[in-house]
Amino acid sequence: MISGVALIDKPLDLTSFGVVARIKRVYKPEGVIRVGHTGTLDPLATGLLPICLGEATKFAQRMLDADKGYLATVKLGEATESGDREGEVIARGRADFSLGEINLALQKFLGTIQQTPPKFSALKIDGRPAYALAREGKVVELAARSVTIHKLSLVAHRPETRELDLEVTCSKGTYIRSLAIDIGEALGTFAHLAALRRTTTGGFDLSQTRTLDDWMSASPDERRAWLLPADSLIQDLPRIDLDAQQSIDLRNGKLVAVNASAEVAPQFRIYDESSALVGLAEIILVSGEPHLKSQRLMSTAQQA
């Protein structure tokens, strides 16, 4: 059984779902049914898109919750209806700012901030995506929410094109389009997102990716060699190795006595006697003694 993670450099003007559909198509002859991405990228965005196959899909949620890194291009002096370059320009303003003014504005967004998602987003309002309502000309009101900007630095300033290149590291749920708009407001002008490239997510880096065309044209053996193992999604968790009987017991839903502490981590990655991934487990106390309780298990010990 094929299970693992394909690291794709998502091309421009293709949805994340479109990437999944193409990867699913090339792996279908090999019996892979379950395929899913680990965090949506808009068609405007390019870059790192991990795709989970088979048993690896069981751990995709941890990637959805992971911090993300981006290289974002912000255009000053123009507001667009959608907040990005695909929307119609609806307002214009000043765009000639010094490096000092720009860096001072960027500093305001470091740390935990309140951010209002863009109206052209997939967030649901009464069961419908906000972007669908916005396209119909309806009023879209989305509540602000807390997000964390770990890093926001100026990489390049091109006054001739009124553009800024920014390096951003942020928590899940952060909208870079909203950040671009808010940076404009902090400068006293308008701004929109002109380009976006995801560079990191959940321990993966853009340098590890291959293009979608490469994945589509590769031979089955090449794709198998490129696929990362399912446990690459959970490498940040501490590891516990079990013997043969313990592995069988855990897979059968039994509690397994171990020498570990829940204070170390809320979850552990578990391996059997042959170092094959068993799955995830937590520590619970039984009569004061630590035991493993299974949380999410592989249905097979095989990995890519």
d(CA 33, CA 51) in angstroms, rounded, equals 13
d(CA 272, CA 258) in angstroms, rounded, equals 13
**Pairing between strand 210-211 and 4-10?**
parallel
Instruction: DSSP for 111-137, please give it.
Output: EEEEEPPPSSSS-EETTEEHHHHHHTT
Q: Which two tokens stand for residue 25?
A: 């198509």
Contact 79, 178 (CB under 8 A): no
Q: How many CA atoms does the CB half-sphere of 232 hold within 13 Å? A: 21
Residue partners of 132: CB distance under 8 A and separation at least 6? none
Partners of 268 in the β-ladder: 281
Q: Which residues are catalytic?
A: 42
Contact 303, 230 (CB under 8 A): yes
